[in-house]
Amino acid sequence: MSVIEVTGGKPLRGEVAVVGAKNSVLKLMAASLLAVGKTTLQNVPNIVDVVIMAELLRRLGCSVQHDVENRSVTIDVPDLIEHRADYDLVRQMRASICVLGPLLARTGQAEVAMPGGDAIGSRGLDFHIAGLHQLGASVTSEHGYLVADTKGMHGASMTLDFPSVGATETLLMAAVLARGVSVIDNAAREPEIVDICSMLETMGAKITGAGTSTLEITGVESLSPTTHHTVSDRIVAGTWAVAATMTGGEITINDCHPEHLEIPLNKLSDMGAEVSSTQTSVKVSMNSRAKAQDIVTLPFPGFPTDLQPQFIALNSVSDGAAMVTENMFEARFRFVQELARLGANVKTDGHHALVRGVERLSGAPVEATDIRAGAGLVLAGLVAEGKTVIHGVEHIDRGYTNFVPDLKRLGADIERVD
Ligand code: UD1
């Protein structure tokens, strides 16, 4: 088991490059199942979840080549594929559920283990199931698996109760091969949805409205394999922006899309950071103590829940008090208990957290319970007095490529100890 040891107090200075988004590439890998032949994904992050998804696709009958050096994954999809995703993989990575739509569309059947709850909340699948019903599939739950089959899917008009990213992706990947026209209303608008739509379009899918609340999909007979460059990870970019602000440093974040981070970057400006963007990079610098700012998480283009722990960490050492409201995942505040071990003053009540800034945190052993909580704890360790030891590093490995080496290069006093 590895731990990360960090001694706080060093401002981070320099440049980092951001690679493709975890939350996009896993879905793009699943989407490759929709076409027979070789699909290549570029700008793939070197994270554990990609390895798990590659294994899942292999078990479905694909051959998968992961070239870590060139950041590419090539998936060769045979004509006949299996249709079962086992619990041993799904329990390691909840996002495995994203094979449900493509499997149904390609084979007319799917058996996908139900992921259950995770460290950030209960996370339902009811919107996925209701939409698949409307597209003409029967979906039941048997022995811990979602068992779906269809004699052929047809276009349908669907309205999501909430703009769920996962449900939008499942229904999109099912609808592209369905007969006729489908409409998904109240669809998610995240940049990762735009990314998968653009890949599906190069495969021959007919989709309009990507990035808006209404997606219209005209089903086609078949799709062709493609080559696609994964959209840059806005959450990783946002984490670097917080790191610059929190440590009183200056980081130029390259290969990112600042327009995907409008609200978080505005928050950092309001906190006192200097933020200047080009189309593909953003420079964030800070030379004073941050002023606490309220945060409310919402679907894109609102403030992303995946940056909430990092901003709680930042608010915890800022001047003043801030109210952080979490609207997506009820258990995300679990990480606050770990932050309190470093001396943070945070009170939670339901989906609100009141963060009162303290002058300084003091290093201690802490446990990361999920990817973003892990990032938040590393950020806190960067400013805490003395040594912070972060356990549960395997969570951070699921979402951040080269995190510790990059932090070190930027001047942090940090080591990964195996
Ligand atoms: C994805 C991201 C996650 C991010 C989240 C919100 C991946 C792998 N994960 O998760 O990092 O935090 O989007 O931006 O891409 N819900 C239901 N029923 C459903 C589906 C969702 O009640 O059928 C609820 C969820 O419990 C949650 C909310 O809707 O409260 C949003 O979930 P969703 O957008 O689906 O998140 P994920 O796709 O799971």
Handedness of CA 252, 257, 262, 263 (dihedral sign): negative
Pairing of strands 250-254, 13-17: parallel
Task: Look up the CATH number of domain 22-229.
Answer: 3.65.10.10
Mean pLDDT, rounded, for 134-152: 95
Q: Which of 34, 76, 363 is nearest to 222 (CA)?
A: 34
**Per-residue pLDDT tens digits for 215-265:** 999 999 999 999 999 999 999 999 999 999 999 999 999 999 999 999 999
pLDDT band at 330; cut points 50, 70, 90:
confident
pLDDT at site 165: 97
Question: Distance (Å, rounded) from C-alpha 239 to C-alpha 264?
Answer: 10
Cβ density class 126-143: b for 16+ within 10 Å, e for less: ebbbbbbebbbbebeeee
For the chain, percent of residues with pLDDT exceeding 90: 95
Mean pLDDT, rounded, for 16-43: 98
pLDDT at site 117: 58
Residue 183 has pLDDT above 80, yes or no: yes
Q: Three-state DSSP class for 250?
A: strand
Place of tokens 């554990």: 48
Q: Which segments of 210-351 are extended strands (E)? A: 214-218, 227-229, 250-254, 274-277, 281-285, 295-296, 321-325, 345-349
Is any ligand 1 atom within 6 A of the Cβ of residue 187? no
Residue 387 has pLDDT above 90, yes or no: yes
> Which ranges in the chain are annotated with CATH 3.65.10.10?
3-18+232-417, 22-229
Handedness of CA 87, 88, 94, 95 (dihedral sign): negative
Residue 120 has pLDDT above 80, yes or no: no
pLDDT at site 122: 66
Residue 277 has pLDDT above 80, yes or no: yes
pLDDT at site 121: 67
Is any ligand 1 atom within 6 A of the Cβ of residue 233? no
pLDDT at site 84: 95
Q: Which segments of 198-341 are extended strands (E)? A: 206-208, 214-218, 227-229, 250-254, 274-277, 281-285, 295-296, 321-325
Catalytic one of 76, 79, 86, 118: 118
Is any ligand 1 atom within 6 A of the Cβ of residue 126? yes
Mean pLDDT, rounded, for 300-318: 98
Question: Distance (Å, rounded) from C-alpha 266 to C-alpha 255?
Answer: 19
Are 37 and 77 spatial neighbours (Cβ–Cβ below 8 Å)? yes
Question: Distance (Å, rounded) from C-alpha 171 to C-alpha 7?
Answer: 46
**Side-by-side strand order, sheet with 138-142:** 84-85, 109-113, 145-149, 138-142
pLDDT at site 73: 98
For the CA of 304, the nearest atom of ligand 1: 14
pLDDT at site 169: 98
418's CB contacts (< 8 A; 6+ apart) are 2
Question: Distance (Å, rounded) from C-alpha 415 to C-alpha 4?
Answer: 6
Ligand 1: which of 164, 168, 371 to mutate, judged by most atoms within 8 Å of the beta carbon?
164
Is any ligand 1 atom within 6 A of the Cβ of residue 310? no
Could you say which DSSP state residue 224 is in?
-
Question: Distance (Å, rounded) from C-alpha 159 to C-alpha 147?
Answer: 23
Mean pLDDT, rounded, for 265-294: 98
Are 44 and 50 spatial neighbours (Cβ–Cβ below 8 Å)? yes
pLDDT band at 47; cut points 50, 70, 90:
very high
pLDDT at site 396: 94
pLDDT at site 124: 85
DSSP character string of 193-208: HHHHHHHHHHTT-EEE
Closest C-alpha residue for ligand 1 atom 22 = 124
How many contiguous H segments (helices) and E segments (strands) does the chain have?
A: 14, 24
Residue 118 has pLDDT above 70, yes or no: no
145's CB contacts (< 8 A; 6+ apart) are 84, 87, 111, 112, 113, 114
pLDDT at site 233: 98
Task: Look up the CATH number of domain 3-18+232-417.
Answer: 3.65.10.10
Ligand 1: which of 196, 328, 330, 371 to mutate, judged by most atoms within 8 Å of the beta carbon?
328
pLDDT at site 115: 84
pLDDT at site 245: 98
Question: Distance (Å, rounded) from C-alpha 409 to C-alpha 354?
Answer: 34
Mean pLDDT, rounded, for 13-34: 98
